[in-house]
Chain A
Amino acid sequence: MKLYSDKGNFQTLKISIAARLTGTASEILAIEVGHNDIVAPFLSKSKLPVLEVAEGKYLFSANTAAKYLFLKAGQVKKEEAEDEILEWENNELLPLIATYLSNIIGQGKKESSVSDSLLKTLHQLESKLTKTKYLLDDTLSICDVCVFSSIFPLFSLKNQEVLSKLPNTKRYCEDVTKIQAVQDAISELTGGAGPEVFKASLLSQRFPLLPSSIVDRQTSGAAVANPDASGDQIPEVKLSQADLESARASWGKKPDDVEQPRPRIHPILPDPQRRNILVTSALPYVNNVPHLGNIIGCVLSADVFSRFARLRNYNVLYICGTDEYGTATETKAMEEGVTPREICDKYNKLHVQIYKWFNIDFDYFGRTTTDQQTEIAQDIFWKLYHNGYVLKDSVDQLKCTKCDKFLADRFVEGICPLCGFDDARGDQCDACGKLINAVELKSPKCKICKSSPVIQTSNHLFVDLPKLEPLLSSHLNGAFESGTWTNNAKMITNSWIRDGLKPRCISRDLKWGTPVPLEGYTDKVFYVWFDAPIGYISITANYTSEWKQWWKNPQQIEMYNFLGKDNVPFHSVIFPACLLGTNDGYSVVNHMVATEYLNYEDTKFSKSRNSGVFGDQAEVTGIQADIYRFYLLFVRPESQDTAFSWDDFLLKNNSELLNNLGNFINRALMFLHNNFKGIVQEMSVTDEDVELLAQITNQLKGYISNLEACRLRDGIRNILTISRLGNQYMQVTKPWVLSKGSPEEIKRAGSVIALCANVACLLSVLLQPYMPTTSAVIQQQLHAPASVNYIGGEFVPMLQPGHQIGQPSPLFQKLESATMSELKAKFAGKPEEKTKKPSKKGEKPQPSNNVVTTEDFSKLSISIANQGQKVRELKAAKADKSVIDKEVAYLLQLKKDLEAAQAAVPKKESQSLSAEQLAQAVSLQGQKVRELKAAKAEKSVIDKEVACLLHLKKDLEVAESQKESQPAVAVVEQSACVNSAGGDAGLIEKLTQAVAVQGNKVRDLKAAKADKSVIDAEVASLLKLKKDLELAGGVTAAPATKNSSKKNKKK
C-alpha cells in the first residue's frame, strides 16, 4: 500500500494512527508529495492524503482509508455505530473545523472566533463524551481515531476560551494523546513543532463544503449576510466587551486626531513613505462602443478600487486608454474611406465622453498610438531578442493579390477539406466543427473581394514562452501567495501553464500597428496582443516622463490589473513573461481582479442586434450615472456570470437606495434642520448608543477588509447595513417624540440626531468610491469639511457639536415600472432569424393570423407521418431516383412548415397545448381509422393510419407523464405532433431528438449503401439540424482574440 500525503496534513493523522494501532504500518509505504500534487489521475489537486490500497485503487477519503486498516486487522466491532459517527465527522465536524483552522492557522487571522455552528457541533461531541471514556464505549475505536485527528489542531492551539467550555473533550484529547501509537504518529507528522506546521497544508487542501445554509463567512469581525438575500435582515453579530470599549474610545476622539486626506498632485509618483498602488484597467478597443458589461468588467471596477485606495491615503495612479492598433480599425477605416488615425481620433473621443459621464476618475486616460508606444515596444522587443527569447519561423498564409493583403483567418471562406462543407471559415468548419488552417481550405475565397488568394510564405517572429516559463512561474508563485487574485484568474493562468506554453507569434503583415524594427521584418507590425499591454507603460510615459519610477520599480510599487476573464492569459502569462524576459527590472503584475460576464436580461449584449444598453445610450435614459454605477456594482459578476435586469434595477433603486439609504440620511438631516436649526447638538452616548457604534465599527472593518480584497459587491452590503442600523436606531429612539418632551428628553433627541448626522457623514465617505456624485451631494448638504474623506478603521465623530449643516433634500427618486417597461422595449433588440427564440420581454406578440390551431398541427404531423412512410416505401422498392428525391424534398418541406408553425405559437399557450393537442390529434386520427374501417378501405391504407394512431397515442402517454417536469417531447420523424416551442428547453429537446433520429437515418443509409445524392440530401438536412441545435443551445464563444467581433467581449 502507498500513502501519499503532503507535509503537515492533519487528516493524515487518521491513517497513520490507524496504521500504528493495527500493526499494519509496515505494509504502508509513506510517500511525501507537494501540497498541490495530483496523486490519482482523476482527482483534482488538493485532495490529500490518499491511500493506494491496490494497483489503481485509491482511497481519497481519510475516514474510509483508516477504517480499511481497522477492518483488515479485524478491529472493527460495532460497524453501524462507528459508521454513524464517521459520517457525522465527515459531514458536520470536518467542514466547520477545517474552515476555522484555515482562518486561524492558515491565514493567521488571530481574532477569528469560533463560529456558532462549530461550537454547536463541538457541544454535540462534548455530550457524547459525558458517559463514556471514548465515543462508543470505554475502548478506543476507529471513530475516536478520526474525530481526534480532526480536532487535534484545535486542541493544540490551546485556546483556553474554547477548551474551558468543553471539559469532556479536553479530557478526551488528553487521554487519546497518552496512547503511544498516537504520540508516535503526532511526532512523525509535526516533528514536535507547534500548530503552524499545519498551515501550508490547510491552505492548499480542499475540504468538504457545508450546505450553504450553515456557512459562516469569517471576514474579520462582520458576518456578511447571504449576498442574495433581499437584505431586510441585519446580520446578527455578537459583540464582545472589547468591541464595545474600543468603539466608545474611538467615539471620544476628535477630528484632529484623525489622519488628514492627502491631496492629489500631478504627476503622481511613488512615495517611499506610503503604499504605492498602480491600477490599470484593460484597455478598451477603440473601435467598439463599450456596453455596460464592458464598463463594469474593467473601468468601473478599477475606479471603485482606486477611489477607495485614495481614501485610505495610499498613493494611487489609475491608468487606462484606448487600444487602437489592429485589423479591425484598419478595416473600418477602409470601409469609411478615412485613415485609421481619423477613426481612432473619433472613437477615442467617444470613449472619453462615456467614461466621463460615468464619473470614472482616471488619473490619465490615453491611447496606444503614440511615439512612446513605438519606442517602448521596440525597446522591449530588442531586449527579448538579445536575451534569446525571440524565434523566427515562416508561416504559410493566404494573400489576396487583389486587395494586396494577407488575409486573417476570418476573412477567408472556402470548402472544408475534411467534410466538403462549402461554407467553411478560415479557422474552423461550421459543419464538421474541426479546426483547420486557412491554407488547407479548398477553393478559398477572399471574403471581401471574392477573388482567390494565393499561398505565400511569410516570415514571422515568435516569443519563446516555453523558455520564459521558469521565470514566469517563479514570479507567479510569489504573486499568487501574497497578492489578491480572483479565482478565475488563478485557474485560467494555471491551466495555461499546465497545458504547456507554446511559442506565440508576435508579428503580423499589416500596416496599422507598431513597426517591427528587426532587419528583414520591417514591413511588419507587432501583433496587437503583444503590443497592447505595453500600452499601459506607454500611456504612463505620456502622463509623466518619470514613468520608470512606476514601471521599473517592483520593490516599491504594487500593480493591480482589472480585466474581464477572457483577457487573463494575456495579462498573467504573455505580458509578464515578456517583461521578465527583458531582464530590465520591469514591474510585473502583483494582483489580478478578473470578472465573469455580465449578460443582458436573458440574452447577451449585442450591438448588431441592438440588444442591451451601450455606453452612449445610458445618458439618454434620464437615469443618473450614479444609479447605474450602484446597480452595476451590485450585480458585478465576481464568481459567476450575472445579468443586468431592468426589473431588478428598479427594485434595487427603490428598495435599497430610496427606502434604505436615502430615507435614513434624509430623515436624519431633515430632523436636524427642522428641530435644531441645523446645528449639531451635544452628544452623550448611552450604553445603547455604544452598541450601535460598535455594530457600525464592525461593518466598517468589514467594508475595509472587503475592498482591500477587491470584493466590491460585499462592500456595498456593508454600506447598506450601516444605513439599516441607522434607520433601526431612529425607530427605537423615536427622537420625534423626545423632541416634544422635557428639556432632558430634548437633549437626548439632540444627541441621537447628532449621532445620526455623523453616521450620515460616514456613509457619504464609504459611498464615495461607488457613487461619487451622491457622496458629494450628501457632504454638501452636511457642509462637511473636506477632511472627512479618509477611511481609517475607527468611527470618529467628524461633525462636532456646534457644526452647522446646510439644506437637506431627497437624494434619490423613485423609478416607476412604466419607465422600466419602456426601457426594456427600447433595448430589447431583435431576435436572431435562425433560432426560434421566444419573443423577448417588451416585444409585441405575433399577429393573430399566425396562430395555428390544433387541427392544423395534427394535419401537418399526420401528413409528415404519411409522407415519411411513402418515402420509405419508395426507397425500399428501389424506385426511380428522381421520384424519391421529389418525395424527400416534399417531406422536408412539410417538416419545415411544421417547425415554422410551431415557432409562431406564443410562448405561454404552447406549453399547455402539448398534451391537449396530442389528445385532440389522437381522437381525430381515431375517427379517421374508424371511418376507413367502416368504408372497408384497402388493408394497407388502414394499417398505415393505425400505425400513425398508435404513435400518437404513445406520444400522448409520454406527454402526460412528463407534463409536470418537462415539456413534452414528440418523436419528430414518426408523428411530429406537438412540441412546446415555448422556451429554449422545448426547442432544444425537439432539435436534439431530430438530430438523433436524422443521425440514425444517415447511418442506415450509408450502411445500406444508398444512392449518393440521397445520402447527401439527408446529410445536408442533418447538418442544418446540428447548426440549429448549436444556436439554440447557446454555444459558448471562443476565447477572445481581439480582432474577432464577438458580442459580450470584456476587456
Chain B
Amino acid sequence: MATSPTILYLNETYKKKIKCSEKGISLNLNDGKSISGISSIAKYLQRTQPEFQDLSLEDRMVFEQWLEYRNIITNCSDDIESQKIVLKELNGYLKDKVYFVAERFTVADVIIYHSLYEIYKKVTFQDKENYIYLSRWFNNIQQDKRTRQSLPQLKFLRTLIYDGFNGH
C-alpha cells in the first residue's frame, strides 16, 4: 500500500502515532479529537509544525492542493491514458522547481513520491527521459533514506540515450 511508507515517514518525522485500521487512517490529537485521512493528517502536521510557520498562505494552499493531487495519482493506476496525463502535468510543473512547494522539501514531496512510486516503477527508460524534470525530482527525493523508507531506489540514467529517438 502506498500509504504505509507515508505513515511510517510521518510517524518518524513528527514523532506521532498514526493508526491504521480497516476504518481508515487516523491520528489522535491531544484534545481528544482525531483526524482521519492521510491528506488531512498531513495538512494538520504542516500547519502546526514550527518549520512551516513562515510559509505564506498562498504556499500553504499550494501545498494542500498537491496533497489532494495524490488521489488523482493513486486512482489512475489502472488507466494508462490518465497516467500519461498525470505524468505530463507533474513533469510540466516541476520544470522550474526543485521541490513542489516554496522551493523547499515538504511533506508534499514525500506524499507524492509515495503515491507515484508504483506507477513510476513501471515507466520505461524512454519515458523517464521524456518526463525529465519529474525524473530529476524523483531521483532527488528518493536519495533521502527516511523518505524512501523500505522502497528500493529506482534507476535513472545520467546519460541521455533517447535524445532524438522520440517518435513523431
Contacts of A1030 in B (CB 8 A): 161-162
The reply to whether A433 and B92 form a contact with Cβ atoms under 8 Å apart is no
Q: Which residue of B lies closest to A58 (CB)?
A: B62
The reply to whether B80 and A44 form a contact with Cβ atoms under 8 Å apart is no
Contacts of A965 in B (CB 8 A): 152
**Which of B12-20, B82-90, B140-148 lies on the face that meets chain A?**
B82-90
Asked if B155 CB lies within 8 Å of chain A CBs, one says yes
Which secondary structure dominates chain B's binding surface?
Answer: helix
B 50-70 contacts with A by CB, 8 A? 57-62, 64-65, 68-69
Complex: A341 Cα to B161 Cα, angstroms: 43
B 75-102 contacts with A by CB, 8 A? 75-76, 78-82, 85, 88-93, 95
The reply to whether B58 and A54 form a contact with Cβ atoms under 8 Å apart is yes
Contacts of A924 in B (CB 8 A): none
| Residue of A43, A54, A966, A1026 touching B89 (CB-CB under 8 A) | A43
Q: Which residue of A lies closest to B33 (CB)?
A: A80
The reply to whether B126 and A996 form a contact with Cβ atoms under 8 Å apart is no
Interface size on B, residues (CB 8 A): 53
In angstroms, how far is the closest chain B Cβ from the Cβ of A567? Answer: 13
**Which of B3-11, B39-47, B108-116 lies on the face that meets chain A?**
B39-47
Complex: A499 Cα to B168 Cα, angstroms: 10
**Which of A545-553, A727-735, A1032-1040 lies on the face that meets chain B?**
A1032-1040
The reply to whether A87 and B29 form a contact with Cβ atoms under 8 Å apart is no
Contacts of B76 in A (CB 8 A): 209
The reply to whether A433 and B162 form a contact with Cβ atoms under 8 Å apart is yes
Known pairs A42-B95, A83-B44; list 8 more (Cβ under 8 Å).
Answer: A41-B92, A53-B61, A57-B59, A67-B61, A68-B57, A428-B164, A992-B155, A1030-B162
Known interface pairs A57-B58, A84-B35, A84-B37. Does A64 touch B161 (Cβ–Cβ under 8 Å)? no
The reply to whether A996 and B157 form a contact with Cβ atoms under 8 Å apart is yes
Asked if B163 CB lies within 8 Å of chain A CBs, one says yes
From A61, A79, A432, residue with most partner B Cβ within 10 Å: A61
Contacts of A211 in B (CB 8 A): 74-75
| Residue of B40, B47, B159 touching A84 (CB-CB under 8 A) | B40
19 contacts between A and B (CB under 8 A): A42-B89, A43-B92, A59-B65, A61-B65, A64-B68, A72-B57, A83-B35, A91-B71, A209-B75, A209-B76, A212-B78, A428-B164, A433-B165, A435-B164, A966-B152, A992-B157, A993-B155, A1030-B161, A1030-B162
The reply to whether A208 and B71 form a contact with Cβ atoms under 8 Å apart is yes
Complex: A41 Cα to B91 Cα, angstroms: 11
Complex: A494 Cα to B161 Cα, angstroms: 28
| Residue of A64, A209, A1036 touching B82 (CB-CB under 8 A) | A209
Asked if A583 CB lies within 8 Å of chain B CBs, one says no
3 closest A-B pairs by beta carbon, nearest first, are A42-B92, A61-B65, A64-B65
A 997-1051 contacts with B by CB, 8 A? 999, 1026, 1029-1030, 1033-1039
| Residue of B40, B78, B155 touching A87 (CB-CB under 8 A) | B40
Complex: A42 Cα to B93 Cα, angstroms: 5
The reply to whether B159 and A995 form a contact with Cβ atoms under 8 Å apart is yes
In angstroms, how far is the closest chain B Cβ from the Cβ of A436? Answer: 9
Contacts of A1029 in B (CB 8 A): 125, 161
The reply to whether A210 and B75 form a contact with Cβ atoms under 8 Å apart is yes
Asked if B106 CB lies within 8 Å of chain A CBs, one says no
Contacts of A988 in B (CB 8 A): 125
Complex: A351 Cα to B94 Cα, angstroms: 51
Asked if B139 CB lies within 8 Å of chain A CBs, one says no
The reply to whether A999 and B89 form a contact with Cβ atoms under 8 Å apart is no
Bitwise interface map of A from 887 to 930 toward B, beta carbon under 8 Å scored 1, else 0 = 00000000000000000000000000000000000000000000
Asked if B124 CB lies within 8 Å of chain A CBs, one says yes
Known interface pairs A59-B65, A434-B163, A995-B159. Does A1036 touch B58 (Cβ–Cβ under 8 Å)? no
In angstroms, how far is the closest chain B Cβ from the Cβ of A1004? Answer: 13
Contacts of B167 in A (CB 8 A): 1036-1039
Complex: A68 Cα to B47 Cα, angstroms: 14
Complex: A992 Cα to B126 Cα, angstroms: 12
Asked if B23 CB lies within 8 Å of chain A CBs, one says no
The reply to whether B168 and A1039 form a contact with Cβ atoms under 8 Å apart is yes
Known interface pairs A79-B47, A1039-B167. Does A208 touch B57 (Cβ–Cβ under 8 Å)? no
Complex: A487 Cα to B79 Cα, angstroms: 13
Contacts of B88 in A (CB 8 A): 44
Complex: A65 Cα to B58 Cα, angstroms: 10
The reply to whether A44 and B85 form a contact with Cβ atoms under 8 Å apart is yes
The reply to whether B158 and A999 form a contact with Cβ atoms under 8 Å apart is yes
